[in-house]
């Protein structure tokens, strides 16, 4: 998947015909790449359970069913962090012009905040799609519109960090929206997830 993001950066390089990006274009390329890399993880998230009986095995156990939501969201979160560990340095190396030094700390916490939302929504939509016959299609078709606010907020928040003349301040408004999004969907997923497991 990290390889996927590298390939995507190369494709953006040729598609946009630019050797270096900055500002909103840079933020856009970064977020779109991460979002589509996340979709790969979302599509695979419950495949083992679905095909190998893991859902039933889990449902038979005397544990709270939300544990599966938390575990899977944590797995997706970890996956996203690992992808970013490769993708973000590669992004600065290949596409972003100025050195990332001062932008990095701010970029990191915004990425983590966004990862949280992607992990929760991705887990929910993945569980929703896994029982359908067209899961490879239904999953992303549901997840992508739901994640548009994350892309909006994430791209707007990191746009000043990737400025051509060095990093600006993070607009806190956007970070707040990311946080609100995370909280709303975490609560929502917690409330409805059980209904995706029952039969």
Partner 1 sequence: MAAPGTEAAGRPIAAGDARREPDPAVELDGLGRAYGERVVLRDVTLALEPGRTLLVLGPNGAGKSTLLRILATLLRPHAGRARVLAHELPREGWAVRGRIGLLAHEPLLYRDLSGRENLRYQARLFGAPEARVGELVERVGMARRADEPVRTLSRGMVQRLAICRTVLHRPELLLLDEPLANLDPAAAELVEPLIGRTAGATRLLTSHDPAGALARRSRSRPWRCSA
Partner 2 sequence: MYGKGLRPLSLASAATLTAAFALVFFYAPNDADQGFVQKIFYVHVPMAIVALGGFVAAGLMAIAHLRSGDRRWDVRSYVAIHLSLILAIGVLVTGAIWAKASWGHWWVWDEPTLVSFLIIFLLYATYQPLRFSIENPERQARYASVFAITAGAFVPLNFIAVRLAQAYTHPRVLSTTGGNLPGSMRLTFLVALAGMALLYVTLWKYEMASKHASAQLRALRRKLAGEEPPLPAGRSAAPSLAAPAQPVP
Token digits of residue 44? 């695979």
Encode 7-34 in three state secondary structure: HHHHHHHHHHCCCCECHHHHHHHHHHHH
CB 47 within 8 A of CB 130: yes
- Contact pattern for partner 2 over residues 179 through 198, marking x by CB under 8 A: -xx--xx--x--xx--xx-x
* DSSP character string of 105-118: HHHHHHHHHHHHHH
In the bound state with partner 1, the residue whose beta carbon lies nearer, of 24 and 49, is 49
CB of 192 to partner 1, least distance (A): 17
Residue 184 interface partner, choices partner 1, partner 2, none, CB cut-off 5-8 Å depending on type: partner 2
CB 5 within 8 A of CB 82: no
The Cα 194–Cα 55 span in angstroms is 12
CB of 168 to partner 2, least distance (A): 18
In the bound state with partner 2, the residue whose beta carbon lies nearer, of 1 and 128, is 128
In the complex, which residues of this chain contact partner 2 (CB under 8 A)?
Answer: 124, 128-129, 131-135, 137-138, 141-142, 144-146, 148-149, 152-153, 156, 173, 177, 180-181, 184-185, 188, 191-192, 195-196, 198-199
């Amino acid at each position: 998947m990290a390889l996927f993001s590298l390939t995507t950066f190369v494709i953006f390089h040729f598609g946009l015909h630019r050797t270096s990006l900055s500002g909103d274009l840079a933020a856009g390329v970064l977020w779109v790449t991460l979002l589509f890399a996340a979709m790969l993880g979302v599509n695979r998230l419950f495949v083992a359970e679905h095909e190998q009986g893991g859902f039933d095995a889990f449902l038979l156990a005397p544990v709270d069913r939300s544990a599966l939501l938390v575990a899977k969201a944590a797995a997706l979160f970890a996956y996203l962090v690992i992808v970013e560990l490769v993708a973000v340095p590669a992004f600065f190396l290949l596409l972003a012009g100025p050195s990332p030094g001062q932008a990095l700390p701010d970029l990191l916490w915004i990425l983590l905040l966004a990862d949280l939302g992607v992990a929760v929504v991705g887990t929910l939509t993945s569980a929703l799609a896994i029982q359908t016959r067209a899961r490879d299609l239904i999953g992303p078709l549901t997840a992508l519109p739901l994640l548009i606010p994350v892309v909006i907020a994430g791209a707007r928040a990191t746009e000043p960090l990737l400025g051509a003349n060095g990093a600006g301040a993070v607009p806190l408004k956007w970070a707040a929206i990311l946080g609100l999004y995370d909280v709303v969907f975490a609560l929502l997923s917690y409330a409805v997830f059980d209904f995706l497991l029952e039969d």
